[in-house]
Amino acid sequence: MAAPQRRTDIGPPHYKDFLPPVIQKNYGSWKYHEIINPGVMVHVADSGDKIWTVRVASPRLLSTDTIRDMADIAEKYCGGYIRFTTRNNAEFLVSDEKNIEPLQKELKQKGYLAGGIGPRISNIVHTQGWVHCHSAATDASGLVKAIMDDLADYFTTKELPNKVRLAVACCTNMCGAVHCSDIALVGIHRKVPRVDHGNIKNMCEVPSTIAACPTGAISPDPAKKSLKINDDKCMYCGNCYSVCPALPISDPVNDGVAIVVGGKVGSLRSFPKFSKLTVPYIPNNPPRWPEVTSVIKKILDTYIAGAKKHERVGEWVERIGWEKFFSLTGLPFTFQHIDDFTIARETFRTAATFKW
């Protein structure tokens, strides 16, 4: 007898199965939304139905205990309907108004930070860092924890001219949204990878390692049955290390953080923008990175003091000019800000640096 047919790949379930009933009922016919306080907003449907969103920050890398706790809270107050935003905020979707106050009370009592809705900072989208990734030039969760501890007021109570999106990527592979966030950090290596000649033949495929280098800096070293790197051509991207573990690039002394500013995804009022380099390098200083957090605070406070209502960081900088941005923030303009990469084509003005 033939075996019964069995489906082995069912794919992801349809997202509509997970929408709260009030959203399913009013799908596509919503009238407006209103921000009630920094941690709560309400959406009102054409039919008059309402759904409230209660937002709290999450540390992004969540323990199963925290996820279970959040799920239990969601079961208790909003039928289990909880979602995570792209910036790692947790949002409880409440369809019964009388549950909002007790929900907020329990969240506060358990130490969750409510906020992030409206003209303030959101949670920080970040990458894996030293917890998880082999090519990290800085930490992600530790750095984000230090920044968010310092900026908690900007998430909970302070009003900004507009929303400010923050991001951290722990190397230039950039798994985060650094290129298009208002203020962002990217981990950078500053030294050429070290060649572990003894292990190249055991751990690496020579052709694919040579092909992985975007600047053609790697070539065979037949005498050593290994590889060699042309230091002058290397731009410390770490791409080779991703395919060949015998070319380690991480360096506890020289690795650090660069800060870029002024990117955005939205096309409201002005086109989406790429971020520009503002601080080329700050050494890693774990566990609290005080030099990094103070620069971010300085940029944020200068933006709050100078921007018009509704201006995003990039729009404010473009209105006043980058020269004024550097003089107001007191950040030095250095040779690293100038784009002198010779392979860059004149028409591709997409570098994070400034064209001379």
Residues that bind ligand SF4 (CB under 6 A): 127-128, 133, 135-136, 169-171, 173-175, 193, 212-213, 215, 217-218, 229, 234-240, 249
Pairing of the two strands 354-355 and 338-339? parallel
Rounded to a whole number of angstroms, the minimum distance from the CB of residue 242 to ligand SF4 is 7
- Residue nearest ligand SF4, CB atom distance: 133
> Phi and psi for 154 in degrees, rounded to 5?
-75, -15
Question: How many angstroms separate the CA atoms of 130 and 278, rounded?
Answer: 24
For ligand SF4, the closer CB: 22 or 257: 257
Rounded to a whole number of angstroms, the minimum distance from the CB of residue 343 to ligand SF4 is 12
Rounded to a whole number of angstroms, the minimum distance from the CB of residue 51 to ligand SF4 is 34
Contact 167, 203 (CB under 8 A): no
Distance of CA 214 to the CA centre of its chain: 24
Give the Å distances, CA to CA, from 200 to 204, 227, 242. Answer: 5, 8, 13
For ligand SF4, the closer CB: 19 or 133: 133
Half-sphere exposure in the Cβ direction for 89 (13 Å, CA): 25
For ligand SF4, the closer CB: 36 or 175: 175
Rounded to a whole number of angstroms, the minimum distance from the CB of residue 127 to ligand SF4 is 4
What residue spans of 36-192 are helical by DSSP H? 64-78, 100-109, 141-150, 152-156
Residues forming a β-bridge with 282: 257
For ligand SF4, the closer CB: 90 or 237: 237
Rounded to a whole number of angstroms, the minimum distance from the CB of residue 314 to ligand SF4 is 22
Question: How many angstroms separate the CA atoms of 348 and 345, rounded?
Answer: 5
For ligand SF4, the closer CB: 229 or 299: 229
Q: How many residues in total does the chain contain?
A: 356
Rounded to a whole number of angstroms, the minimum distance from the CB of residue 10 to ligand SF4 is 30
For ligand SF4, the closer CB: 101 or 340: 340
Contact 314, 261 (CB under 8 A): yes
